Amino acid sequence: MRRIGIGIIGCGNISDAYLKASPQFPVLDIVGVADINPAAAEAKAAAYGVAALAVEVLLADPRVEIVLNLTTPQHHVPVGLQAVAQGKHVYSEKPLATTLADAQRLVAAAREKGVRIGCAPDTFLGGSHQTARRLVDEDIIGTVVAGSAFMQVPGHELWHPNPDFYYQPGGGPMLDMGPYYLTCLINLLGPVKSVTGQAKSSYATRTIGSGPREGETIDVEVPTHVSGLLTFENGAAVSITTSFDVWKHEHNHIELYGTTGSMIVSDPNQFQGDIRTSLRKGDWTVADQVHSYGDGNNRGLGLADMAQAIVSGREHRANLDLSLHVLEIMESIINSAKTGQRIDLMHGCSRPAPMRSDLPFGILE
């Protein structure tokens, strides 16, 4: 099997998930890790038995075909542009960019160079969400006409020692967690046609609750409670709310309402979880899962799918059009909240191809 060389830029907490999961995918070959802080790269390299490289050395290394961009959101596009300039494919943590305008710079550069862009999340490829996809495709609950999605938590300042970026431009609950929910919904229902939004900042400041900065106050510069109404191309109407302002609630992560029944979809930030259906007025039943990647950490599944797609020449599932569509949805919800107007979307996408259920674990083709 041909293996695809991966160079990781960004050695923060999320890099552990990728480095732990990557050995289960034979198509991935981790060439090295890099970080603007060399000590961080050296620590990860020592922990996982890979090479620590300077950023410029990693970008120039001919063994690296895909740069895995795990930097913070405001650096996704600058680092991505550096990688593309070197002729590398890029797979980025979410979101693709902090603004649609920045994302389009990366899109233009990638198309000019003829390289691929991929973007998290990849949880929609996991066993739970592929089970939900199968049930939707089989019309188990009939035609989906409506739905709801909720991500509501108290602020990340309660646990994160450096939560500033969550409350600065490019942050907020929609850009932070919206990609998981929106990508999951697009996988199930297809692209969104238009959005309307409401947004507010409930508190002017936040107080850090842990770590060496405990008690320090930070300013809130972005909306922290964001709601949107999504009108899908297929006619379904789905409401979504993302919030850092809610102490507790009892909403399910995602519910879909069809002409013959309803479905409860598990947490789109996880690969695992039960998918439950109720037909008409019947009881809730748990669907059988036949797909792999339905338990534990499988971060890197989207990266592996992209690598395998490069080998075989097909489209990868967590692709540029999908991530650009998700970014436009999020930005449009917030812009709609400012203007009070419905916004019709300009950048569509196709539903990603469903995952096969007949392949050994770790093999994607």
- Average pLDDT of adjacent 10-residue blocks, the chain of 365 residues: 95 94 96 97 97 98 98 94 98 95 97 97 97 98 98 95 91 96 98 98 96 96 98 98 97 98 97 96 94 88 98 97 98 97 96 96 92
Pairing label, strands 117-119, 343-344: unpaired
Residue 46: predicted pLDDT: 97
CATH 3.30.360.10 assigned to domain 127-287+326-344? The reply is yes
Residue 334: predicted pLDDT: 97
If one counts every other C-beta atom within 10 angstroms of the C-beta of residue 310, the result is: 19
Q: How many residues does the chain have?
A: 365
Q: How far apart (Å, rounded) are the C-alpha atoms in residues 92 and 115?
A: 14
Sheet holding 285-286, edge to edge: 285-286, 276-279, 261-265, 254-258, 144-152, 237-243, 225-232, 192-200, 343-344
Q: Alpha-carbon torsion 147, 177, 241, 100, what sign?
A: negative
Q: What residues pair up with 33 in beta bridges, in sequence order?
A: 8, 52
CATH 3.40.50.720 assigned to domain 4-119? The reply is yes
Q: How far apart (Å, rounded) are the C-alpha atoms in residues 238 and 231?
A: 7
Residue range(s) of every CATH 3.30.360.10 domain in the chain: 127-287+326-344
pTM score above 0.85: yes
Residue 297: predicted pLDDT: 80
Residue 170: predicted pLDDT: 86
Residue 281: predicted pLDDT: 87
Residue 153: predicted pLDDT: 97
Residue 337: predicted pLDDT: 97
Residue range(s) of every CATH 3.40.50.720 domain in the chain: 4-119
Helices (H), the chain: 13-21, 38-48, 55-60, 76-85, 100-113, 127-137, 173-189, 301-312, 320-339
Q: Is 137 exposed, middle or buried (0-12, 13-18, 19+ CB in 10 A)?
A: exposed
